[in-house]
Amino acid sequence: MDESNSIFNISLPSALSAISSALDSIHPALQSHQKRTCVIACHIAKKLNFSQNQLHDVFDASIIHDLGALGTQNRIALLSFEEVNPDLHAAMGAALIAKSEVFRHLSPAIKFHHKPWLNGENLIIDGEDVPLLAHLIHLSDRIEVLCHEPNLLSSADSIRTTIASKSGKVFHPELVKAF
């Protein structure tokens, strides 16, 4: 077979999933972090009756939301529920996404995906709109971090309580309610 004439046919979701897997393979503790965050975000978005196009954006942005966290230490730090300096990897990921015609529109969601809700005060940051998708990824990401308990089913109430206690201040209340 002449390889110069072969055409690879891979779907965009499959390509994003492969990128996500590669990033999460940096350390065993990160296995499928972005995929689980994506599943959580998609379920919440469906509960809120997002349109099909919005669901595509939720999938695309959430499955690669930590694209800018390239070093092992940067990625491991993301597993702490109380985030410490998450803005650097978010800005780096947004800058990478902004270079793509296909994903440029998702750049603000990646850039602001660790910004707290602050009772609605973080709707605009430095003159930029913070999309609802950024708040959805933030919530889903933090839920996923809390799911690293040995017995997840016995921790479900504790996870719901922790998230509910941060509604309004850290997380968008409508998203918390849908969760």
Q: With cut-offs at 50, 70 and 90, classify the pLDDT of residue 85.
A: confident
User: Which pTM does this prediction carry?
Assistant: 0.84
User: What are the boundaries of each domain within the chain?
Assistant: 11-178
Task: Characterize 58-96 residue by residue with b for buried, 16 or more Cβ atoms within 10 angstroms of its Cβ, and e for exposed.
Answer: bbbbbbbbbbbbeeeebbeebeeeebeebeebbebbbeb
Q: What is the distance between the alpha carbons of residues 31 and 144, in angstroms, rounded to a whole number?
A: 12
Q: What angle do the packed helices 132-146 and 33-47 form, to 10 degrees?
A: 120
Q: With cut-offs at 50, 70 and 90, classify the pLDDT of residue 1.
A: very low
Is it the case that residue 144 has pLDDT exceeding 50? yes
71 sits in the region (left: phi over 0; alpha: psi -120 to 50; else beta) called: beta
What residues have CB less than 8 Å from 31, skipping those under 6 apart? Answer: 24, 25
Is it the case that residue 2 has pLDDT exceeding 60? no
Q: Which fold would CATH assign to domain 11-178?
A: Hypothetical protein af1432 (1.10.3210)
Is it the case that residue 57 has pLDDT exceeding 80? yes
Q: Mapping DSSP to helix (H, G, I), strand (E, B) and coil, where does residue 128 land?
A: strand
Is it the case that residue 38 has pLDDT exceeding 90? yes
